[in-house]
Amino acid sequence: MMHTLPPFVAVIRTAFLRIFSSPLAGLLNILVIGIALSLPAGMYILLQNAQSLVDEISGPQQISIFLQQDASTLEIEHLQKLLSQNEAISSVKFISRADALEGLKQSTGLSDVIAGLETNPLPDAFIVTPKSRDASYLENLRTSLVNLPKVAQAQHDTSWAYKLEAILKFARIAILILASLLSVALIAITFNTIRLQILTQRDEILVSKLIGATNGFIRRPFLYFGALQGLLGGLAAWLIISVSLHMLQSPLNNLSLLYSSNFSLHSLSVGDTLSLLLFSLYLGLLGAWLSVSRHLTAIEPR
Amino acid sequence: MISFNQVFKRYPGGYEALKNVSFEVVQGEMAFLTGHSGAGKSTLLKLIAAIERPNSGSVLVNNQNVGVLKEAALPYLRRHLGIIFQDHKLLFDRSVFDNVLLPLQICGFDSRESSKRVRAALDKVGLLKHEKTNPIALSGGEQQRLCIARAIVNRPTILLADEPTGNLDAEYAQAIMQIFKSFHQVGVTLLISTHDTTVLQDKDIRVITLKQGEVQDPSNVAETCNPDLS
């Protein structure tokens, strides 16, 4: 019974009972909030997965520097010194033409063809790892490296990763806009639900005011209602996302097997889940608060 | 305890409900407020609970001018008053027990103390066996007594009743008056609006008569300003 519970728990219990006083309407409300939240949150998690996929495929950013065929050992040593002194470069690795040929033999299985070559066609090369991953920074570095003595070519092969990253950036902003719009919708849903709640509780509010209830006392259950509804909506969103990701996981496993990758979807982290729940709770509370401040003053005993 | 001083109340539209009303009900006194329908009885009670505000004059309750009380202070004024409404204002979405519990919840009583008080109040009005019933299943007289239980559960110092015996037969009305008298005996100040002539027969109890918004016999005031009346 209600009167045996501490007041705080009793108010939550009342709010819970009111949400489900008509179970279908309550569930639908929670479902609407859940779907509205799961869209941006689900897209966000897919985006994060795409981001980690990009990171995995592109690996650490590297620039390959190919030297002219006639570069002497002395010139190579000089160049290595220059590169390792360069502020923008974090590591330098030299691959001699002989090593490169050996590597090619092993990795491609073309040993017979390579054995038939009269001279080694490969140049000496440096592989440098820059300190930053920024696209324009890399491009500047690349141009400056080309201009070094005895350098024939400098290239970074990951420009497609940058294009993808630009697309992801675009998608991130699109999701942000979507999330903002749906948050407003969520506030509106709560606003309206609370308005209806206030109308159905009209008698109770009037009587309570007549027998000495403060505005805070009257407001509290509605705020709890909004917050609880938001929280349950957040839980619904979490469930929708988790189930969807789970359903996507097995076809994706097949796909990544075909590409001989071991990429797997990661779901919402604990931190993400907490933020999702807190955010939805907060939005519900905000909607309720707006509604209560707007509608409660209109109910005065006369 | 309750003191009206040259109070005027005009409703929007120009209808004058109270004209130059002055009277006093002292601590521990029991008084009837009578007059025809529309004489201003309900308005007068509403002014005491600050449900309406006077246009001029002062309404003092416990030496507090309730006519100028801030909105935020009203709940604390009303917690000292027990109000028995003409239309009961019971809540039909909860049990008899929970109806009486509401004022205690509002004041933040702990649950064990609340249960005790609710049962005591219900026992006082003879409704203890109905505590789990929905008030809609109660008769008119029982609803009236439930309303009384709710008004007294908070142990108010002042009890206001608007036509508490309005639609009841004589026997029920008598029972309710007995309940009121028992509160009077323990020192509660009572102001009861009624036009029930059988109730008004009681010679021991002072009667304030309103006629078209005016107190009819001011001599009543001087004569009965006596705390040890009953």
Question: What residues pair up with B61 in beta bridges, in sequence order?
Answer: B2, B64
Restricting to B residues 127-186, those with a Cβ less than 8 Å away from any Cβ of A are 150, 154
Percent of chain B at pLDDT above 70? 94
User: Under CATH, to which class is A62-155 assigned?
Assistant: alpha beta
Number of continuous H segments (helices) and E segments (strands) in chain A: 10, 4
Restricting to A residues 206-235, those with a Cβ less than 8 Å away from any Cβ of B are 206-215, 217
Q: Chain B residue closest to A217 (CA)?
A: B106
Contact across the interface for A212 and B79, Cβ inside 8 Å: yes
With CA atoms as reference, report the closest residue to B69 among B51, B43, B44. B51
Q: Chain A residue closest to B45 (CA)?
A: A302
Q: Chain B residue closest to A8 (CA)?
A: B108
Q: Where does the pLDDT of residue B230 fall: very low under 50, low under 70, confident under 90, or very high at 90 and above?
A: very low
Residue B222 confidence (pLDDT): 43
Q: How far is A205 from chain B (nearest CA, A)?
A: 10
Contact across the interface for B102 and A203, Cβ inside 8 Å: no
Return the structure tokens found at B32. Answer: 């009837």
Residue B226 confidence (pLDDT): 44
Contact across the interface for B91 and A203, Cβ inside 8 Å: yes
Q: Which residues of B touch A302 (CB under 8 A)?
A: 51-52
Contact across the interface for B51 and A2, Cβ inside 8 Å: no
pLDDT mean over B53-57: 92
Check: CB of residue B54 under 8 Å from CB of residue B131: no
Strands (E), chain A: 63-67, 89-95, 125-130, 151-155
**What are the angstrom distances between the C-alpha of A137 and each of A10, A37, A142, B32, B185?**
60, 37, 9, 92, 93
Restricting to B residues 58-77, those with a Cβ less than 8 Å away from any Cβ of A are 72, 75-77
Q: Where does the pLDDT of residue B97 fall: very low under 50, low under 70, confident under 90, or very high at 90 and above?
A: very high
- Residue A75's Cβ-count burial label (10 Å; 0-12, 13-18, 19+) is middle
Restricting to A residues 139-178, those with a Cβ less than 8 Å away from any Cβ of B are none
**Tens-place pLDDT, residues B108-136:** 888 889 999 999 999 988 899 999 999 99
Q: Which residues of B touch A206 (CB under 8 A)?
A: 89
Residue A235 confidence (pLDDT): 95
Highest mean pLDDT of the ranges A129-143, A146-160, B68-82, B214-228: B68-82
| Phi-psi map region of B52: left, alpha, beta (phi>0 left; psi -120 to 50 alpha) | beta
Residue B83 confidence (pLDDT): 93
Contact across the interface for B106 and A211, Cβ inside 8 Å: yes
Contact across the interface for B49 and A217, Cβ inside 8 Å: no
The amino acid that residue B111 corresponds to is: S
Would you kindly state where each structural domain of chain A is located, as residue ranges?
7-57+162-298, 62-155
Pairing state of beta strands B2-10 and B56-61? antiparallel
Contact across the interface for A212 and B75, Cβ inside 8 Å: yes
Residue A60 confidence (pLDDT): 66
Alpha-carbon Rg for chain B, nearest whole angstrom, is: 17
pLDDT mean over B173-184: 88
Q: Where does the pLDDT of residue B192 fall: very low under 50, low under 70, confident under 90, or very high at 90 and above?
A: very high
**Tens-place pLDDT, residues A29-86:** 999 999 999 999 999 988 888 888 777 766 667 788 888 888 888 888 888 888 888 8
Q: How far is A288 from chain B (nearest CA, A)?
A: 21
Please state, rounded to an integer, the average pLDDT across all residues of chain B. 87
Q: Check pLDDT > 60 for residue B225.
A: no
Q: Check pLDDT > 90 for residue B96.
A: yes
Q: How far is B128 from chain A (nearest CA, A)?
A: 17
Q: Chain A residue closest to B100 (CA)?
A: A211
Restricting to A residues 4-33, those with a Cβ less than 8 Å away from any Cβ of B are 4-7
Give the closest of B78, B93, B97 to A211, CB-based. B78
Residue A7 confidence (pLDDT): 66
Cα–Cα distance between A289 and A302 in angstroms, integer? 25
Residue appearing with tokens 């609006």: B193
With CA atoms as reference, report the closest residue to A284 among A173, A178, A174, A197. A197
Q: For chain A, which ranges sit under pLDDT 70?
A: 1-7, 57-60, 157-161, 260
Residue A122 confidence (pLDDT): 83
Percent of chain A at pLDDT above 70? 93
